[in-house]
Amino acid sequence: MDCEYLLVYGEGLLREDQNHIQFHATTPEGAEKNAETIISVIRKQAQRPQMFSATLYRQVKEWR
Q: Region 41-53: what's the mean pLDDT? A: 89
Q: For 7-37, b where at least 16 C-beta lie within 10 A, e where not — what string? A: bbbbbeeeeeeeeebeeebeeeeebeebbee
Domain-wise residue ranges, the chain: 3-52
Average pLDDT over residues 15-22: 85
pLDDT per position as a tens digit, 20-46? 999 999 889 999 999 999 999 999 998
38 contacts 55 by C-beta, under 8 angstroms: no
pLDDT at 63 (0 to 100): 55
The model's pTM: 0.80
